[in-house]
Structure 1
Amino acid sequence: MSRRVTLALPPWLAHALRARREPVPWSAVVRGALAGGPLLILALAFGRVSLGVVAAIAAMLAGINDRPGSRRASVRRLGVPALAGSLGLLVGTYAGEHVGAVALTLVLTGLGLVAGGISAVGPVASAAGTQLLVASAIGAGMPLPAPGWQRALAFLVGAGWLLALRLVLPTPGALAGDLRFDFRFDGERDAVAGVYDAVADLLDAVGTEHATVRRAALTAALDHAQDALAGPRLRRYASSAAERRLHAQYAAALPLAEAATALAWAGETVSGRACEGPRRLASALRGGTHTGPLPAPHRSAPALRALDDALLRAAEAFDRGEGGDLHTRRRTARGLLRTAFGAAGREYGIRVALCFGTGAAFAQAQYHSHWYGQHTHWYWLPVTAAFLVKPDLGPLASRVLCRAAGTVLGALVFAAFAAVLPRPRGLIALVAVGGALIPVATRHFAAQTAVVTVLVLALVMVGGEPQASVSRIGETLLACAIVLVVGHLPMPGERGGGVRARLAAAGGAAHAYLVHVLSECDDRAARWTLRREAYRTLAEARTAIALAAAELPALARHTEGTDEVAALLERLVDTTTACAVHLDDTGRLMPQHTERLTELLGELAARRERVGLRARELPVLPLAV
C-alpha cells in the first residue's frame, strides 16, 4: 500500500511563493498608464528630459503606494511620502555635490537611521522613510544637470500629478449610476458597506468553526473603513450631507459589530433573520436607497437585544445622516515619537542605517575604483538595499529571493524590448505600460520588482544613458547579499523589538478597554473607540508576528510564543465585549464572565513570563468586578 508523503515548505519559502488574491484595480491601472508617460512627453517637448525623468520616478513611487481606498486617505498615503522624497532628493543632491565619498556615506547612513526609526510608526511613515532614502541616493548619484531645488520641485510635480489623477478621475461605472451620488466618496461608501457585510458574515458563522476567522475579517473591514474616512476633507466645509451621512453610517456599524462579537463569544447559533438586517443596510449604503423595514432578530438574549437595538439605531442614522467623529484614531505626537525612538524604532533604524550605509560604502568604493569602468549608476545599490530592508514587504529571506528573481526577469525583459523599440517613443510607451502594471504587480514582491526594474531601466535610457540591464542585475544581487548578512547580525538589546512593541501596544489598548467596561461608564462612544483601538492594535501585532514567524529560524526564534500571547489578548478583548453588552442589558456580570476573565488574566501573566515580556511592556490587567 503506497503512502502519500506531503512536503511542507519552510515558512520563509512558502511566503516567497504566495501571492495576494484580489480584484484587478482598474482605476489604479488607468492612473498608472497616465502617470509617467505624459510627464516624459511634456519634458521632451520643453527640452527638460532630466526633470521629466525625475517626475516620472516620483509618479512611479507614488503608484506603488496607490492602494485601494478612499480619495481622502490617498492624500496622506501619497502626499506624505512625496514630501519626504522631495526632501531626500534635495539633501542628497547638495550632499553629493559638496562632500566627499566618506562624508556622503556618513550622511546617507544618518538618513537611514532617521528614516528607519520613523518607519516604525506605521505604513504611511514607512513609505515616507523609504522614499526619503531612495530619493536621497538618487539625488546624490544620478547625473542630472538641474540644480537640487529644481529636482525636488520636479519630484513633487510627478507625485502631485498622480495624486491629482487619484482625486479627479471617477472610478469605472461611477458616472453610470445615480448622479446624486458624489463619485468622490465612492471609496468611503464601499468601505463602510463592507463593514455591514462583514457583520452579516460573522452572524452567519456564529456557533461554527468559522466564527474566529469572520471576526478577524470584521476587524479588517472596520480598519479599512476607519482609514477610508480619515484624512483631509474633500470639501471646504465639514457640513456636506454626504460626509455627515458617511460618518453616521460608520458610527452606526460599531454597536452592530459589538453585538455580533458578543454573539460569537457566546457561541449559540442565531437565526437567518439576524443576518438579513446588516445585509440590507449594506445594500442601501451602496445604492443610495432607503433601508426599508429591517427584520428584527428574536430578543431572547442580551446580545440579541443589543443587535436589535443597534439595527434600529442604524436605520435612524441612515435616515437622519447625523453621526459623531468615531473614525479618528486618538494618537498623540508624544505617542508617535515614543514609537519612533522606542525599542522598535531603534532596532529598525539601526538595521536600516547599516544596510543603507553599507550599500552606499560599497557603491562609492566601486565607483572610485579603476575596475568599475564608466558605469555611473552607483546609487542603485543603496536604493535596492532601502527597499529590501523594509519588513512591510515580507520576511527577509522571502523578499531577498523575490527581489533577485524579479530583477533578473525584469532586466532580461527590458533588454529584449530595448533591442527593438524606437527611442524615445518606444521607451515612453514602455513606461506607460509599466505604470499600468504596477497596481496589479503589487500582489507579489517579485512581480512588482520585475515591473519596477523595466520602468527604471527605461527611464534611464530616456534620460540618454546606455542600456544597463547587466549592471542592474549585478548590483541587485550584491544588495541582496548585504541585506541578508546585515539582517542576521546580532544587535544591541533584545531582538524582536518591533513585534514586542506592537504586542505591548495591543496589551495597553486591551487594558484601557477592559478598565473602561468594568468601570460601568455610560459613555458608549468612548467604549466603541477603545474597542476599535484594541482590535486594531491586535491586528497590527498579529501581522508583525506572522511576518516574524516566516523568517529564517535564526530570526524567527526571537519571537517564539508571541502568537500565543496575541491569541490570549484577542480572547480577552472578545470577552470584554461580551461583558460590555451584558452589563448594558442587566447591569451585572454572570459567573461565566468573571470566571473567563480571571482565567484569561492568569494565562496572560504566565505566558508573558514565558516569552520574556516585561511587566512594563504588557500591563497586568486589573479585574475589579
Structure 2
Amino acid sequence: MSRPAAPPWLAHAFRAQRGPVPWSAVTRGALTAGPLLLAGLLGGRTAVGVLAAIAAMLTGINDRPGSRRASVKRLGVPALAGALGLLAGTYAGQGLAALPLTLALTLLGLVAGAVSAIGPVASAAGTQLLVAAAVGAGMPAAEPGWQRALAFLAGAGWLLVLRLALPTPGSLPGDFRFDGERAAVADVYDAVAALLDAVGGEHATARRAALTAALDHAQDALAGPRLRRYAGSAAERRLHARFAAALPLAEAATALYWAGEPVPARTGEGPRRLATAIRTGTGPGPLPAPHRSAPALRALDDALLRAAEVFDRGEGAHHGLSGRRRGVRRALRAALGVGGREYGLRVALCFGASAAIAQALHHARWYGQHEHWYWLPATAVFLVKPDLGPLASRVLCRAAGTVLGALVFAGCAALLPRPAGLVALVAVCGALVPVATRHFAALTAVVTVLVLALVMAGGEPQASVGRIGETLLACVLVLLVGHLPMPGQRGGGVRSRLTAAENAAHAYLLHVLGGSGDRAERWALRREAYRTLAEARTAIAVAAAELPALARHTEGTDAVAEVLERLVDTTTACAVELDDTGRLSPRHTRRLQEALGELETRGERVPLPVAA
C-alpha cells in the first residue's frame, strides 16, 4: 500500500531550492556584516555599525546569481527604499505618539504592499522599506535620522561594491565584468539545444519551460544600467547581438516542440556549439545544418545561419527588445489593480496591527526585558509576503526557524567571548545568508542568530525567549489577516497575473495574424507573453499550496494558464508557418480555434476569433 501524500500546504514547507553553493556570494557575505560591525565597535560608533550590518544582511538576502549590472538594480533599489524607511521611521518614532505612529506605519504598509505587487525588485524594496521603518521607529538611538540612513546606505553600498568589483571564480581569463551576462546568454543556447533534443519526448514540455526561464534570466541580465545608453563597450554589443540571435532559434525550436515530431539527433548540436563559444570566447567552428524538410526546420536552419554570421562578426549593433513604456504601464496596472490593492490592504493590516500590539507590549511593565519593539512588525512584514511561499508554509518555516535560531544563539551567547565572539558569529551568519535563502526556515534561523548577535553587540541583554514569543504572535496575526475577507474578489494577485498573461497573448496573436513584418516587435511580444505566463504559473502554484480555505479561491486558474500556454505555443508555430508559406495550414487553424474556444468556454476573454 502506498503512503498517503502530505497536503500541499504541508509538503511545500519541506521543499528547498537546489543548486551549487554560490561561493562568490558567500565570500561577500563574510566580508560585509561582520567587518562592518567590527568597524563600528573599533570606532566607538556601535549603533552605526549595527545599522550598517543590518543593511548588509538585508542586501545579502537579495544577492542572487546574475549579472553585475543587473545587481545594481536588484540590490540598490531595495537599499534606497530601506534607507528611506529608516529615515521616515526614525523621525516618526521621535515625533509621533503611539496612535499617530501606528496610523503612519499602516499607511506606509498600504503603499509598500501595493508597490510590491509589481515584481521581485519592487517586492524586495517594499520589504526593506517597512522593515527599516520598524527598526527606525522601534530602535531609539542618539544619532539623527539622516545619519542612520547614511549608515544603512553605507552597509548596503559596501556589499554592492564587492558585487561589482570582485571577480567570479573561473572568470579571470576573460573580461569578468560581463561573466554573468555571458553565462546567461550561453544558457539560452543550451536550453534551445536541450529542447531540440527533447522534441517529441516526455520531457519536451519541461524543456520548453526551461527555455522560457533561461530567456527571462538572460533578458534581465542584459537589462542593467548602461553608462552610455546607445553605445556601450564592444563586449556589451557582442552579448546583446548574440542574445538577439538566439530569439529566432528559440522561436523555431518552440514551433518544432508544438509539432511534436522528433527531429534528427544532430539538430541541437549547432546551438550547443554556440553556447560553448560564448563561454570559452572561441569561435563556434562549422555548425551542422539541420534538415529543411519542414517550415520549422527551415526556420531553424535560417536562424543558425544568422547566428553564425553574428558570431563571425564578433560584435555589432544589437536589436534590443522594445517595450520600456509597456513595462511602465504594466507596473502601474499591477500596483493599482486588484492584486496590488488586495496585497496592500493585507500588508497594511498586518504591519499596523503588529506595530500597535508591539507598542502596547513595550509599554506594559510586566513584559520582557528589552526596550525595542521592532521585531514583531518586522516579522509580520516577512510573513505576509506571498513570493516567499504559501501562507501556511511561511508560518511554519518562520516559527521553526526562529525557535532554532534563538536556541542556537542562546548557546553561542553563553560560550562566546564578547565582543569578539559576537563579531565572528555575525560574520559567519553573513556568509550563510546566500545559502540559507534556498529555504525560508533556514534563512529565518540564520537571520535570527545574526540579529540577536547584533542586538547584544549594541548593548542589550540576551533576548531569545522574547523573540520566540513575538514571532509566534506575528504568525497568529498574519494567519488571521490572511483569512480575512477583503473587498473584491479573493485571489486577486493570481487573477491579475493571469489577466496580464491574457493581454500579452492577445497582443502577440494580433501581431502574428496581422501580417506585420516587424520581427523584432514580434519577438518582444513573444517574450512578454511567455514571461507573463511564467509569472502567472508561479503565482498559481503558490496559491494551490495554500490552506484549503484560501486555495479554493483560485481553483481552475491552472487550467486557464495551460490553455493560454497552448495558445501562445500555437501562435509561435503560426508565426513560423506564415514566414515560410504565407498562410496557415488547416492544422494550425484548428489548434487556434480549439484554444480560443476553450478559453471562451471557461469564461475568459477570447483574444481574437480565427476563421477557418
Tell me, in whole angstroms, the C-alpha distance in 2 between the residues paired with 1:315 and 1:332.
31
1:160-239 to structure 2, matched below 5 A, reads 160-175=157-172, 177=173, 181-233=174-226, 238-239=231-232
**Aligned twin of 1:294:** 287
Distance in structure 2 (CA, Å) of the matches to 1:234 and 1:505: 32
1:315-358 deviation per Cα after TM superposition (whole angstroms, max 9, x unaligned): 11112222424346533434322211110100000000001111
On the 8 A contact 2:26/2:435 being kept in 1, the answer is yes
Q: Residue in 1 aligned with 2:391? A: 396
**What's the CA shift for 1:468?**
0.8
Matching residue within 8, 12, 15 for 1:11: 8
Unaligned runs of 5+ in 1: none
Residue of structure 2 aligned with 1:537, choices 519, 532, 546: 532
Letter of the aligned partner of 2:279 in structure 1? R
Cα distance in 2 between the residues matched to 1:494 and 1:41: 51
Structure 1 position 621 matched with structure 2 position 608 = yes
Q: Distance in 2 between matches of 1:429 and 1:498?
A: 42
Alpha-carbon contact 1:518-1:624 (below 8 Å) kept: no
1:268 is aligned to 2:261: yes
Structure 1 residue matching 2:415: 3-state secondary structure: coil
Alpha-carbon separation, structure 2, partners of 1:373 and 1:527: 62
Length-normalised TM-score, structure 2: 0.98
Deviations 1:90-118 (A, max 9, x none): 11001100111111111111110000000
Change (3 A) 1:235 1:326: closer
The DSSP-based 3-state class of the residue aligned with 1:377 is coil
- 12, 23, 48: which one pairs with 1:26? 23
Please give the alpha-carbon distance, in whole angstroms, between the structure 1 residues aligned to 2:21 and 2:295: 42
Number of equivalent positions: 610
Give 1:200-349 correspondences, 5 Å limit.
Answer: 200-233=193-226, 238-320=231-313, 321-327=315-321, 329-330=323-324, 331-349=326-344
8 Å Cα contact 2:368/2:466 also seen in 1: no
CA positional deviation for 1:299 = 0.6
Contact 1:133 1:383 in 2 (8 A): yes
5 Å matches for 1:56-205?
Answer: 56-175=53-172, 177=173, 181-205=174-198
- Of the three residues 498, 505, 509, the one matched with 2:500 is 505
Residue 620 of structure 1 and its aligned partner are, at CA, apart by 3.5
**Do the aligned residues in 2 keep the contact of 1:230 with 1:328 (CA within 8 Å)?**
no
CA distance in 2, matches of 1:73, 1:7: 44
TM-score between both structures, scaled by the size of structure 1 = 0.96
CA separation of 1:59 and 1:344: change in aligned 2, threshold 3 A: same
Counterpart AA for 1:485: L
Q: Kindly tell me: are residues 363 and 437 of structure 1, through their superposed partners in 2, closer, same or farther at Cα, counting changes over 3 Å?
A: same
User: For 2:263 and 2:227, how far apart are their aligned partners in 1?
Assistant: 41
Which structure 2 segments of 5+ residues have no match?
none
For 2:209, give the aligned amino acid: A
Contact kept in structure 1, 2:505 and 2:607, CA below 8 Å: no
**Other-structure match for 1:384:** 379
For 2:408 and 2:230, locate their aligned partners in 1 and report how far apart those are by CA, in whole Å: 50
* Alignment correspondent of 2:585: 590
Q: In the alignment, which residue of structure 2 is the partner of 1:41?
A: 38
Distance 2:323 2:425 in 1: 41
Provide closer, same or farther for how the CA distance between residues 305 and 295 of structure 1 changes in structure 2, counting only shifts above 3 A: same
Residue identity over aligned pairs, in percent, reads 77
- C-alpha contact (below 8 Å) 2:321/2:523 kept by paired residues: no
| 1:346-402 deviation per Cα after TM superposition (whole angstroms, max 9, x unaligned) | 000000000111101110111112212442121100000000000000000000000
| Cα deviation, residue 473, structure 1 | 0.5
- In 2, Cα distance between equivalents of 1:325 and 1:384: 45
Do structure 1's residue 476 and structure 2's residue 471 form an aligned pair? yes
CA distance in 2, matches of 1:579, 1:207: 18
Alignment partner of 2:519 out of 516, 519, 524: 524
CA distance, structure 1, for counterparts of residue 230 and residue 492 of structure 2: 43
Matches of 2:212 and 2:116, distance apart in 1: 23
Offset of residue 152 of structure 1? 0.4
Cα distance in 2, alignment partners of residues 359 and 74 from structure 1: 32
**1:560 equivalent in structure 2:** 555
Distance in 2, matches of 1:306 and 1:596, equals: 20
3-state SS in 2 of match to 1:407: helix
Q: Residues 432-480 of structure 1, C-alpha deviation per residue, up to 9 Å, x if partnerless?
A: 1001001111110000000000000011011111111111111000000
CA contact (8 A) 1:72 1:234 kept: no
Structure 1 window deviating more from structure 2 (474-483 vs 369-378): it is 369-378
Question: Are 1:67 and 1:439, in contact at CA under 8 Å, matched by a contact in 2?
Answer: yes
Structure 1 residue 173: Cα displacement = 2.1
Residue 416 of structure 1 corresponds to 411
Structure 2 Cα separation of the partners of residues 304 and 373 of structure 1: 71
Q: Which residue of 1 aligns with 2:448?
A: 453
Q: Distance in 2 between matches of 1:133 and 1:624?
A: 53
Q: Secondary structure at the match of 2:349?
A: helix
**Contact in 2 for aligned 1:58/1:158 (Cα 8 Å):** yes
- 1:173 is paired with a residue whose SS is coil
Name the counterpart of 1:495: 490
Give the deviation of 1:236 after TM superposition.
Answer: 8.4
- 2:460 aligns with 465
Structure-2 change in CA distance of 1:47 and 1:371 (3 Å): same
Separation in 2 of the partners of 1:345 and 1:204?
41
8 Å Cα contact 1:229/1:327 also seen in 2: no
For residues 228-266 of structure 1, the C-alpha deviation after alignment (integer angstroms, 9 at most, x for no partner) is: 101202678833110000001100000000000000111
